[in-house]
Amino acid sequence: MILIEGIAASPGIAIGKSLLKQEDEIEIDKQNISEDEVDEEIEKLHSALEESKKSLQELKEETAEKLGEEKAEIFAAHLMILDDPEVIPAFENKIRDNKLNAAAAVKEVIDEFAAMFAAMDDEYLRERGSDIKDVGMRVIKNLLGVEDISDKMESDVVIVAEDLTPSDTAQLDTDKVLAFVTRDGSRTSHSAIMARSLGIPSVVGLGSELIEKAEDDTTIIVDGNQGKVFFAPDQSTLEEYKEKLEKYKAEQKRLLAFKDKKAQTKDGHQVEVAGNMGNLKDVDPILANGGEGVGLFRSEFLYMDRSELPTEEEQFEVYKKAAQKMGDKPLVIRTLDVGGDKELPYLDFPDEMNPFLGYRAIRVCLERDDIFKPQLRALLRAGVYGNIKIMFPMISSLDELLAAKAKVEEVKAELKEEGIEYNEDIDVGMMIEVPSAVMIADQLAKEVDFFSIGTNDLIQYTVAVDRMNETIAEMHTPYHPAVLRLIKKTIDAGHAEDIWVGMCGEAAGEELLLPFLLGAGLNEFSMSAVSILKIKEILTKWTLAEAEAESKKVLELGTAAEVKEYLSKIAK
């Protein structure tokens, strides 16, 4: 048995036969042809181009049907390349002038174009280089009569590859392909995203070990939840996974029933179960899992992996698209939260002794109009297109909250003056993640439309435990009675002023904590998309009165261990 661990790219479990995809090993025989063979090669080229166009056209239609127009666009782009008035003569000229056989001519032209795009500064254009290669390989395969991987595919296979191109992934016949695993890639690479859209398990980034050790037609287990791949598993592992697979299937089927149901308790008490997101791509999984809103859009992701601040327009586009996708459902967008463990190289902040207690989040924004104002403008403008709510991170005093709110009013006045459309009545709320904010929550609640509790930081600041320090990782627990009491105090303070209170930290999706949070009166639970259905299901097993009674008991317990044990005992 061989176990290789990689990145869990798409959840689920599959047990099947491995099928190695060795595209790169297609050998292109470079031949010099004679003058009288030129016409024949050009003719071959054109029939291969026609074949390729035909299959791309089919692929485009199929993808549009299976995965939507947006995913099919890539093949429209491929078709344009094959219709390009510069590309076709380039192929022909290589054959005619360099006296090359068609396959070698295509390869050389494609390599030249790909090299040109690879050298460009623009990331978008660099990626187009791989489209050109993808198209080129299709034509070459047609020229050489190489079988496409799907031709030799039997049922229940797991594809093992170095990497999968967009055409590979879109062409996967999900009736036959159970999963795929790749040497390259990350959670955000194209193939991983496609796997999640197709709903098949996938593990990526397995490294060169995968290619060295993988064998064709061997039993393989893919654990897309934990990022594990087993080749030729022993009997006990196989049995274990067969059981897991059965359970997983049964659970998925059962949970799907909750997708379109309102999140409510057995006795009809309604709460909101929402999802957390970092970028636009996360919206679909939240909706597909029955999320009733977005409780936390971490806007800092718009600021990362780039060399300068995103412009107002760029942000507006993203917020607007997210708002449109969510429709009437609430979309809580947190203003920039950098500093602490999240650095932006281009802002060039000085190193600090205690970054988590330092210059971060709202503290930065309040000092830097050049950062804060474009974001607020974008949020207010996008607010016209959906149910956007603005949320400030790391508020530790009333002054900060009032200053941030004043900034919103200032920006509104500017937009009005400029005659730009914006949402005058946008809801404004704040995160509760600093103990000082909990202590004055009664005063803060008068100034906002909602609270959202950020448990990770609240624990860190309450228990004085660095959440990045592995030595004391065990101390960073939401079960600490002090943390639970702060949560309760926050909820009560919010309700006293008739505002809703949510939670967008990891703890909101923890199954064990659910009865406590429900009983404490939490109104909104925001978590990773994959947890939503399960939490919706557990909610239906409790009545509000039962949860309230348990919540009171939990608040009397003395240690985190006791809390956890008690919650495990009462879990349904």
Partner 1 sequence: MVKEKKVMITNKTGLHARPAAQFVQKAGKYDSKIEIVFEEKEVNAKSIMGVMSLGVGKGNEIIIRADGDDAESAVEELVDFIEVEMKKEDE
Residue 121 near partner 1 by CB under 8 A: yes
Residue 80 near partner 1 by CB under 8 A: yes
Rounded Cα gap, residues 446 and 551, in angstroms: 26
Closest contact distance (angstroms) between CB of 68 and partner 1 is 16
Whichever of 87 and 493 has its CB closer to partner 1, that residue is 87
Amino acid at 301: F
Active-site position among 46, 78, 190, 495:
190
Residue 417 near partner 1 by CB under 8 A: no
**Cα 339 to the center of its chain, rounded Å:** 22
Closest contact distance (angstroms) between CB of 63 and partner 1 is 17
Q: Is 381 annotated as a binding residue?
A: no
Whichever of 78 and 488 has its CB closer to partner 1, that residue is 78
* Interacting span for partner 1 (CB under 8 A) from 79-87, 408-416, 432-440, 445-453: 79-87
SS3 content of the chain, % helix, strand, coil (to 5): 55, 15, 30
Q: Name which of residues 257 to 316 contact partner 1 (CB under 8 A).
A: 313-314
SS3 label, residue 540: coil
* Interacting span for partner 1 (CB under 8 A) from 84-92, 150-158, 183-191, 330-338: 84-92
Residue 120 near partner 1 by CB under 8 A: yes
Residue 86 near partner 1 by CB under 8 A: yes
- Using the Cα atoms of residue 534, residue 540, residue 544 and residue 549 in order, give the sign of their dihedral: negative
Closest contact distance (angstroms) between CB of 94 and partner 1 is 15
Closest contact distance (angstroms) between CB of 314 and partner 1 is 7
User: Which of 71, 94, 128, 298 touches partner 1 by CB under 8 A?
Assistant: 128
Is 504 marked active-site?
Answer: yes
Q: Which helix (H) or strand (E) holds 125?
A: helix 123-144
Whichever of 128 and 298 has its CB closer to partner 1, that residue is 128
Give the binding-site size for partner 1 (rule: CB under 8 A): 21
Rounded Cα gap, residues 444 and 397, in angstroms: 8
Q: Which residues pair with 331 in a beta bridge?
A: 294, 388
Rounded Cα gap, residues 252 and 289, in angstroms: 11
Q: Is 298 annotated as a binding residue?
A: yes
* Interacting span for partner 1 (CB under 8 A) from 81-89, 142-150, 179-187, 406-414: 81-89
Q: Is 417 annotated as a binding residue?
A: no
Residue 561 near partner 1 by CB under 8 A: no
Q: Is 467 annotated as a binding residue?
A: yes
* Interacting span for partner 1 (CB under 8 A) from 111-119, 202-210, 217-225, 444-452: 111-119
SS3 label, residue 21: strand
- Three-state SS across 241-303? HHHHHHHHHHHHHHHHCCCCCCCECCCCCECEEEEEECCHHHHHHHHHCCCCCEEEEEHHHHC
Rounded Cα gap, residues 307 and 310, in angstroms: 9
Question: How do 500-503 and 450-453 pair as beta strands?
Answer: parallel
Q: Is 433 annotated as a binding residue?
A: yes
- Three-state SS across 304-373? CCCCCCCCHHHHHHHHHHHHHHHCCCEEEEECCCCECCECCHHHCCCCCCCHHHCCCCHHHHHHCHHHHH
Residue 81 near partner 1 by CB under 8 A: yes
Three-point CA angle 104, 107, 108, nearest 5°: 90
Closest CA to 109 of 146, 82, 74, 148: 82
Contact 530, 268 (CB under 8 A): no
CB neighbours of 207 closer than 8 A, spacing ≥ 6?
Answer: 4, 6, 183
Closest contact distance (angstroms) between CB of 382 and partner 1 is 12
User: Which of 24, 36, 122, 308 touches partner 1 by CB under 8 A?
Assistant: 122
Closest contact distance (angstroms) between CB of 311 and partner 1 is 8
Whichever of 36 and 86 has its CB closer to partner 1, that residue is 86
User: Which of 13, 56, 87, 204 touches partner 1 by CB under 8 A?
Assistant: 87
Residue 474 near partner 1 by CB under 8 A: no
Find tokens 């997101």 and name the residue: 277
Q: Name which of residues 307 to 346 contact partner 1 (CB under 8 A).
A: 313-314, 317
The Cβ-side half-sphere exposure at 214, using a 13 Å CA radius, reads 28
Q: Which helix (H) or strand (E) holds 15?
A: strand 13-21
Whichever of 82 and 232 has its CB closer to partner 1, that residue is 82
Residue 137 near partner 1 by CB under 8 A: no
List residues forming the annotated binding site.
298, 334, 433, 456-457, 467
Residues taking part in catalysis: 190, 504
The site for partner 1 (CB under 8 A) is made up of: 76-77, 80-81, 84-87, 113, 116-117, 120-122, 124-125, 128, 132, 313-314, 317
Please give the annotated binding residues for Mg(2+), written as ranges.
433, 457
